[in-house]
Homo-oligomer: A and B are copies of this chain.
Amino acid sequence: MVDILHRVGVRTSSPEKVYDALTTIDGLAGWWTDETQGSGEVGGRLEFRFPPVGGFDMEVLETVPDKRVSWRVVDGPEEWIGTTVEWDLRQDGDWTIVLFRHAGWAEPVEFMHHCSTKWATFLLSMKAYVETGRGAPFPDDVRVTVNWD
C-alpha cells in the first residue's frame, strides 16, 4: 500500500473556512470541480465529475469540525476504489495547516504519479479559494500533462 501525501498552509484566522471548503457542495465546487453534487455529511455520498473523462464518488467517513474530514472512494477509476482521502487541519497562528493523504493505493502505478501532481494543484486551488474567494476548479484547473490532464 502506498500513499499520496501533501501539505499546504492556508492564510485564514480559523480552520472554519477550510473545513467548509471540504464539507459543503459550494466549497468543494469552488476548488475541485464545478460539477460537484451530493452531501458532505457523514454517511453522505459526494459525486465529483470531470466530463467527459468521468469522476469519483466518495462516501463521507468522518467530519470532525475544524479538525478532520475523510472519504472512501466508492466509484471511479479502478485504482481509486477502496482508497481513502483524508484531511487533517490544525491552526497555527494566522494559518490553517492542511495535511492531506490519499491512502491505500495497491501499487505505485503511473496513474498514481499523475494523481499526486494533480492533487497538489487542487490543494493550491483550495488554498486560493479560501484566501481569495477564487480557486481553479475543473474545467479551469491547472493542466499537468497530455492525457488524464
User: Chain A: residues with CB nearer than 8 A to chain B?
Assistant: 2-9, 11, 92-95, 97, 99-101, 108, 110, 112-114, 116-117, 120-121, 123-124, 127, 142, 144-147
Chain A facing B: main interface SS: mixed
12 contacts between A and B (CB under 8 A): A2-B3, A5-B116, A7-B145, A9-B144, A9-B147, A92-B146, A99-B113, A116-B120, A120-B120, A124-B142, A124-B144, A127-B144
B residues less than 8 Å from A146 (CB atoms): 9, 11, 92-95, 97
What is the minimal beta-carbon distance from A141 to any residue of chain B, in angstroms? 12
Chain B's closest residue to A143 (CB) is B9
What is the minimal beta-carbon distance from A90 to any residue of chain B, in angstroms? 10
Complex: A122 Cα to B84 Cα, angstroms: 26
B residues less than 8 Å from A93 (CB atoms): 146
Chain B's closest residue to A144 (CB) is B8
Closest 6 CB pairs of A and B: A9-B145, A120-B120, A7-B113, A9-B146, A5-B113, A95-B146
Chain B's closest residue to A99 (CB) is B113
Would B145 and A97 count as touching, CB distance under 8 A?
Answer: yes
